Amino acid sequence: MKNMLLLFCCMAMACLPAFAQDAAFDNDSLVNGAIAPALVAKQFSFTEGPAVDKDGNIFFTDQPNDRIWKYGTDGKLSLFMEKTGRSNGLYFDAANNIISCADERDQLLRISLSGKVDTLLSLYNGKLLNGPNDLWIDKPGGIYFTDPFYARPYWQRTEPDIPGQHVYYLPAGSQNAVVVDSSLVKPNGIAGTPDGKYLYVADIGDNKTYRFSINEDGSLGNRTLFTEQGSDGITLDEKGNVYLTGRGVTVYNPAGQKVAYIPVNEGWTANLCFGGKNRNVLFITASKAVYTLPMRVKGIE
């Protein structure tokens, strides 16, 4: 598992440009005085999927070890859950439950903070999904998720059951997902705007990130190239800036212009979210470690 992840990281890093020396970046307008992200802990195999609850606590996955961890607003780190269905991307719903992309059986799970687990989605048209990876939930409670294929050593299959790697939408209360985009090579990171008008999806397989318009029925339209950089994870801040991961964190304004770069002292930055009581702490999952960075802006989650 570790070798597979390292190989993927090296391949993905080769597709990403080095931005650290770009003098046009102005981190001071976003970052609140810290020189670099502060290391919280470095005891994991591969960290992913950070998500913030209603109180500002952050939950994230150590995917190879099948665990979900909690980083509290008090700065304390604790193990929340083991045997999580190989959870990867996480997001909190309106009822403060964790919604998990769990690729042990290629499902979407709902996990309460008391540890109760329910299955929201298991199959698409009677077939196994590729491996739900990352997700975003709209205001009505519908779930957008990406489904790239990364072969796992704990699977019996070596080929996908479904041709193509798609973006799906699971309407609130439904047990049937629908494909809302099938044009991307390998969709991965995903995040929407708080007004529900736009959805950002990173195509890590083609090193691009797109912005879609969200229609009233949940379908997507008006696919627009946002930037020629792919990403493992995506988050947004209150100003509409878009944060992409990979080799550190690169920040784009809503017009798609690079406005900041945050170096991270790890080989691969997988994902990120805003947390803390005031939602002004950027939490970064990076390979075997997790980091925090105080910000001048707040997140929208």
pLDDT digit string (tens) for 122-167? 999 999 999 999 999 999 999 999 999 998 989 988 898 999 999 9
| C-alpha span between 146 and 7 (Å, rounded) | 21
Share of the chain above pLDDT 70, in %: 90
How many structural domains are present in the chain?
1
Cβ proximity of 228 and 207 under 8 Å: yes
Q: With contact defined as beta carbons under 8 Å apart, do 131 and 124 qualify?
A: no
Question: SS3 of 12, please?
Answer: helix
Q: What is the pTM of this model?
A: 0.91
Is 266 within a domain?
Answer: yes
For residue 299, tell me if it sits in a domain: no
Mean pLDDT of 247-267: 94
Tell me, yes or no, whether 79 lies in a domain.
yes
Q: And the tokens for 174?
A: 């439904």
What distances in angstroms separate CA 223 from CA 14, 61, 80, one per listed residue? 26, 30, 38
Q: What is the pLDDT of residue 34?
A: 67
225 domain-assigned: yes
Write the CB contacts of 236 (distance below 8 Å, at least 6 apart in sequence). 191, 193, 194, 200, 242, 243, 299, 300
Give the structural domain span for 89: 2-294
User: Is residue 104, in this structure, part of any structural domain at all?
Assistant: yes
- Asked if residue 300 is part of any domain, the answer here is no
280 within a domain of the structure (yes/no) = yes
**Could you tell me the CATH number of the domain that includes residue 281?**
2.120.10.30
Determine, yes or no, domain membership for 179: yes
